[in-house]
């Protein structure tokens, strides 16, 4: 805007300063308990992920061993195909 003039904001245009919220002691205790519960859930989630990774690795190792047995002629191709698909 060419020639626009800056004007001092009037009181009704100034930002409102909201008061700092006051949290009761009971609410603080509830929030702390909730946060502890969240960390428990995160730990449980992490344990589950680690358990599933271990199970995946165990099954992957078994499939690999079965494949080696197939290559060595210890098991037939149809046996390998049936169990590898499970």
Residue 4 within a domain: no
Q: What is the mean pLDDT of residues 66-76?
A: 84
Q: What is the DSSP string of 48-72?
A: HHHHHHHHHHHHHHHHHHHHHHHHH
Residue 65 within a domain: yes
Distance, first Cα to last Cα, the chain: 72
| Tens digit of each residue's pLDDT (9 = 90 or more) over 4-46 | 666 666 666 666 666 666 777 788 788 777 777 777 778 888 8
CA distances, 4 to each of 7, 8, 9, 10, 11 (Å): 9, 13, 15, 17, 21
Residue 19 within a domain: no
Domain that holds residue 63: 25-84
Residue 37 within a domain: yes
CA distance 23 to 32: 12
Total count of domains within the chain: 1
| Tens digit of each residue's pLDDT (9 = 90 or more) over 51-68 | 999 999 998 898 888 888
Residue 9 within a domain: no
Residue 70 within a domain: yes
Residue 16 within a domain: no
**pLDDT of 81 strictly over 70:** yes
Residue 36 within a domain: yes
Q: Is the pTM of this model over 0.85?
A: no
């Amino acid at each position: 805007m060419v020639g626009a003039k800056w004007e001092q904001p009037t009181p009704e245009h100034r930002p409102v300063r909201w008061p700092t919220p006051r949290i009761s002691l009971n609410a603080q205790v509830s929030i702390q308990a909730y946060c502890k519960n969240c960390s428990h859930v995160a730990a449980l989630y992490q344990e589950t992920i680690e358990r599933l990774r271990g199970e995946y690795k165990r099954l992957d190792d078994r499939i690999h061993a079965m494949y080696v047995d197939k290559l060595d002629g210890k098991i037939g191709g149809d046996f390998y195909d049936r169990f590898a698909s499970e």
